[in-house]
Amino acid sequence: MEAYLGRVRGLRISLMDALPEEAFVEVDSLIEHGEPAEGVCSLAWALHNMIQNQSMSPSSPQSTRGRPSRHRQSHTKSAR
């Protein structure tokens, strides 16, 4: 388990220059509270949102508002 936590923390460190500091608040909390897989998922959503925001034109009516809540996430996926 320690090796896994080390890899998760390494992933977090490797993304420090790519993502804004506020993206790591939830990630750090999840990792420290024994939910490293959820922390990785949160990092994935932060990367996804960053890429989406960069690829969207300023006049686009779509917006991404961050990671869907756990309650809406399964609903959101089925709506696609």
Please check the confidence at residue 71 and state whether its pLDDT lies above 90. Answer: no
User: What is the predicted pLDDT for the residue at 67?
Assistant: 56
**Residue (of 29, 41, 34) closest to 5 by Cα position:** 34
3-state secondary structure of 56: coil
Of residues 71 and 25, the one with the higher pLDDT is 25
User: What is the predicted pLDDT for the residue at 3?
Assistant: 93
User: What is the predicted pLDDT for the residue at 43?
Assistant: 94
Tens digit of each residue's pLDDT (9 = 90 or more) over 17-47: 999 998 899 999 999 999 999 999 999 999 9
The predicted model scores a pTM of 0.64
Q: In whole angstroms, what is the distance from residue 67 CA to residue 61 CA?
A: 18
Domain boundaries, the chain: 1-53
